[in-house]
Amino acid sequence: MVVEYQEKGIEYEMENKTDSAIVFYKKAIEIAPTDITTIESLTKTYWRNEQPELALEILNKVPNEIKQFNSILTLKGMTLEKMDKLNESMELYKKAFEQSPKIRYKNEENLMEFIGYLMLQTIVGEKEQALAEFDRLKEKKLTESEKQYIKSIQPLIENYKGGGYNAIFGNEQ
């Protein structure tokens, strides 16, 4: 049922029916309260609806066993950032990064996870280390799509001057 509710939520989102999507994501969370994919989908739907306070409410209610997961801390930080609480969000980003295992590039399948790690590393003040990882990445045998993805992300890191995820993506409020 969880997958069906998730799929229905995605379907509604694609039709720009975010209120209906929220209903189905909430149903999925009732069944599987620790499902991070659904929590993330619901959180981001609230962001699109410009309701970060409702996203924060959801993130504050996640079960204790996942409250300190990196993905939850990062989502919560991004939500606080959307509420103009950058200092609080930066504390959560730092905590997420500190407890995160160091992610290394293995192949195309973990590229997005690796880039996400490098972005978080940049945000917490280790931009030079992240850029060094990008240089090492370019020495690897990469597919054309990997090269294009890296080429689209690296300038965001290079131009980052602080300010959290909104600043890295140029969405400063």
Query: pLDDT digit string (tens) for 22-59?
Result: 999 999 999 999 999 999 999 999 999 999 999 999 99
Q: Give the pTM.
A: 0.87
Q: How far apart are CA 91 and CA 19, in angstroms?
A: 31
Q: Predicted confidence band at 169 (pLDDT cuts at 50, 70, 90)?
A: confident
pLDDT at res. 20: 97
Q: How far apart are CA 78 and CA 164, in angstroms?
A: 8
pLDDT at res. 172: 46
The pLDDT tens digits for 131-157 are 999 999 989 999 999 999 999 999 999
DSSP 162: S
Q: 57: Cβ–Cβ under 8 A, 6 or more apart, which residues?
A: none
- Which CATH class for the 1-100 domain? mainly alpha
What is the secondary structure of 11-58 as a DSSP string?
HHHHTT-HHHHHHHHHHHHHH-TT-HHHHHHHHHHHHHTT-HHHHHHH
Q: What are the phi and psi torsion angles at 26 (to 5°)?
A: -65, -40
Tokens of 106: 């293995």
In contact, 84 and 113? CB cutoff 8 Å: no
What are the residue boundaries of the structural domains of the chain, listed by start?
A: 1-100, 102-173
CA distances from 24 to 2, 32, 35, 45, 59 (A): 9, 12, 14, 11, 17
